[in-house]
Structure 1
Amino acid sequence: MQDFHTRARAAERAMRQVFPETPLQRNVHLSERFGCDLYLKREDLSPVRSYKLRGAFNAMRKVLEDGPASKLFVCASAGNHAQGVAYMCQHFGVHGVIFMPVTTPQQKIQKTRIFGGDAVEIRLVGDYFDDTLTEAQRFCAAEGGHFLAPFDDEDVIEGQASVAVEIADQMGGAPDHVILPVGGGGLAAGVVQYFGEAVHYSFVEPAGGTSLAAAVKAGAPVTLDRVNSFVDGAAVARIGAHPFEVLKNIDISDVYAAPEDRICVTMLEMLNVEGIVLEPAGALAVDALVDVADQIKGKRVVCITSGGNFDFERLPEVKERAQRFSGVKKYFILRLPQRPGALKEFLNTLGPEDDIARFEYLKKSARNFGSVLIGIETSSRGNFDALFSRLDEAGFTYRDITNDEILAEFLI
């Protein structure tokens, strides 16, 4: 049997009949900021704007080599994997049935339909992905189809390793350091298995879905009790069994958790400074640069920007979360005396760079004091220290609820 390097290179060569290699671009801004020679592997520029195309291609190629061209392929996905499978069904001229949650945004459903055309059928099943997955697997077994797993499959991992093949060819060898986004672990496992010990790795998960860290600590894959779905391309409750076999001996100190709100800061910076559109999962590797800054100075570093399927309807939420993380936007509840001039007194405490972004009077009955929900945007986080000092001097009672998860969910 061929070794992994040979199979990964064969997969990469075969992909060239479908799409060109994605660029490996040196980023001047990030190189200067972090004192290293930093490159972005632009998987966001693949035909489906993510690396998922690679694993789907390789898994389907292997099946079709061994069976009839009329093979039925089935998958469950709410995003990039669905689009990759749809694209490859169209390419190979085979039939695919793609199960997506009922709650999937129409934009993602439409893109999947566009990539697959007449070759795919989309079925919307279940409010939650687990329900969707169960139904997809039931259907696949009943119809005798081939289930295309998004990451927990050796052929998929082999296909994702083509990212490392391209990096090595484009750089003329292995880089010193690779920063890898991790969801189910397929991409990370493929790159690690290809480069081996020649490279130092940093693995980055969203803080609300640290399934790799949990598995490394436990010595086996575990299912997280709760997952924050904001980083939808990497919000996985359980690392794949096959990827974990490759990653189980990594050092836990090389696994990082990226706060969801900080990822928003990175997404906006990449958009505003570089003109690069990244989805939350696609920004993970770049976001972790601040965590590994001391390790990468003077090194050749590659960040894999794994996807750019970003729905711009989410941009206001991303901006909001970025401002709150950066400390330039806060929400607080102000206890306002019910007398003439009280509101004017409050307004006089605002600084020249403080802007009211939200003002909602919460008083429900006739009382001497009323509660007001205030949202303030400013240019520097230090301005809030000055504002709160002035509020204290003026005798106002207030409560900062910016980071109060429960109150923010109901009021903001």
Structure 2
Amino acid sequence: MTQSVDITGPAREAAQLVRKLFEPTPCARNDHLSQKYDADIWLKREDLTPVRSYKIRGAVNAMSRARAQDPKLDLFVCASAGNHAQGVAFACRHFGVKGVIFMPVTTPKQKIEKTKIFGGDNIEVRMVGDYFDDTLASAKTFCDDASGYFLAPFDDVDVIAGQASVAVEFMDQMTDAPDVVILPVGGGGLSAGVVQYLAKVSPSTEIYFVEPSGGPSLAAAVTAGKPVTLTSVDSFVDGAAVAQIGAIPFSALKQVEQRQLLTAPENRICATMIEMLNIEGIVLEPAGALAIDALQDLKEVIRGRRVLCVASGGNFDFERLPEVKERAQKYLELKKYFILRMPQRPGALRDFLDLLGDTDDVARFEYLKKSARNFGSVLIGIETDHPKNFERLFHKMDQAGLVYKDITNDQALSEFVL
């Protein structure tokens, strides 16, 4: 299926190396998901590393290897707005070396502060560029001028070997080898490491790869036969929304078949995040929920089989929770927005409210235009507890002769007015 490279030795060495920092992350059967999908589903909880993502593994392994080759090396540089920055910061403090971490000026304050906490006095954070490409260019220029070591987030063989330690652990932790493994894909470091390791220790295991719909860089590369740059990327799934998959990871993934490639819609990912939070108490970031979200696309494939999902990260800023909840409600069709031509007469609003059901709730009401003499344009948001309630509501609105437009899934219009 994929290029056969014996990564077992480096991966096991990396697993032993990270043991100096933290115990193996939990890997256990999840009863809720197993019952829901009629399968034996296990979760590898990379959201429970010290930096709440698997990125610490690659950073620690690559830094250790680089220092073994050059013991005088004491300056590491990276560019990241998220988990990689935190992993590098933690590794710098662990090894007692200096790190300079470049982050876009648009990086949320929470991520900046966590990076500083993990690195302490060993790191310096530099805020450069509105866009990541500018940040990356500045980081590489500085690294060259300062004769530092640039620690790439995924396009590095030692980083990939470090990420492969995830597979070393779950293969040791599971009672039997998994029939199916589901992996989230961003730059490809985790996928490349796990694929190469399993090719040697469990070649019969089927592997599926999940990318966000707004950034399917692996799928694009497989189609083109080489890494290509996506023309646009939806940054919502910031831990996996990568414009181009790494060249080194792709060398291990280039023989992946189209049937193994899955894309997860961003709004559906939000529904999965809310489900795992409400039912299991598990906090996942959007990228961390990718593998679990894909279970619904594979329900016929996985029925009755042993499945391992990598929950890759839990660095979630709860200030984003209202947005995640909103997007989840839209996907589940429990919330809709529409523009209504409201008659400009006394009692018109009451007449509309009388059309609502017992579980329908007005979440937003805003006049967009009230200058018309007979009618005004109103933006209305409605929440309910079952999708069929909207069928009933729209039927009543049609019978009442109301003119309206559902803009819930009209991206251009909803972005302008919501």
1:217 to 218, 223, 237: 223
Check whether the contact 1:72–1:146 (CA below 8 A) recurs between aligned residues.
yes
Rounded to whole Å, the distance in 2 between the matches of 1:174 and 1:250 is 21
**2:364–2:381 contact (8 Å) kept in structure 1:** yes
Is 1:275 matched up with 2:281? yes
User: For 2:333, which of 327, 331, 336 is the aligned residue?
Assistant: 327
1:247 aligned residue (247, 253, 261): 253
Give the match for residue 411 of structure 2: 405
Q: Distance in 2 between matches of 1:68 and 1:182?
A: 33
- C-alpha displacement at 1:367, in angstroms? 2.1
> Counterpart of 1:203?
209
Give SS of 1:123's match. strand
Q: Does 1:238 align with 2:244?
A: yes
Tell me, what secondary structure is at the counterpart of 1:198?
coil
What SS class does the counterpart of residue 78 from structure 2 fall into? strand
Instruction: Name 2:307's counterpart in structure 1.
Output: 301
Say which of 139, 145, 158 aligns to 1:142: 145
**Residue 70 of structure 1: how far off its partner (Å):** 4.5
Matched residues in 2 for 1:65 and 1:223: separation? 34
Cα contact 1:70–1:95 (8 A) shared by 2:
no
State the Cα deviation string for residues 37-71 of structure 1 (Å, max 9, x = none): 11000000000000000000110010111112452
**SS in structure 2 of the partner of residue 349 of structure 1:** coil
Amino acid at match of 1:198: S
Question: Structure 1 residue runs of 4+, over 3 Å off?
Answer: none
CA distance in structure 2 between the aligned counterparts of 1:38 and 1:327, rounded to whole angstroms: 27
Q: Map residues 171-210 of structure 1 onto 2, 5 A cutoff.
A: 171-196=174-199, 197-210=203-216
Amino acid at match of 2:90: Y
Matched, 1:88 2:91: yes
Give the structure 2 partner of residue 371 of structure 1: 377
Kept in 2: contact 1:69–1:94 (CA 8 A): no
Q: Within 5 Å, which residues of 2 pair with 1:11-410? A: 11-196=14-199, 197-410=203-416
Report the Cα offset of residue 214 of structure 1.
0.4
User: Which digits, 9 at most, give the CA deviation of each residue in 1:160-185, with x for residues without a partner?
Assistant: 00000001111255311100000000
Q: Can you list the C-alpha shifts for 1:240-267, whole angstroms capped at 9, x where unaligned? A: 0001000000111110000000000000
C-alpha contact 1:176 1:301 (8 A) present in aligned 2 = yes
Cα deviations across residues 61-101 of structure 1 (Å, max 9, x unaligned)? Answer: 10111112452100000000000000000000000000000
Please give the TM-score of this superposition, normalised by the length of structure 1. 0.98
Contact persistence 1:101–1:124 (CA under 8 A)? yes
- Give the TM-score of the pair, scaled to structure 2: 0.97
Deviations 1:170-207 (A, max 9, x none): 12553111000000000000000000133101100000
- AA at the equivalent of 2:165: S
Contact 1:174 1:198 in 2 (8 A): no
In angstroms, what is the RMSD of aligned CA positions? 1.0
**SS of aligned partner of 1:256:** strand
Residue identity opposite 1:98 in structure 2: I
The one-letter amino acid paired with 1:58 is N
Deviation for aligned residue 1:343: 1.5
For residue 331 of structure 1, give the secondary structure of its aligned residue in structure 2: strand
Q: Distance in 2 between matches of 1:355 and 1:173?
A: 49
Which segments of 5 or more consecutive residues in structure 1 lack a partner in the other structure?
Answer: none
| Amino acid in structure 2 at the alignment position of 1:11 | A
**How many angstroms apart in 2 are the aligned matches of 1:347 and 1:39?**
47
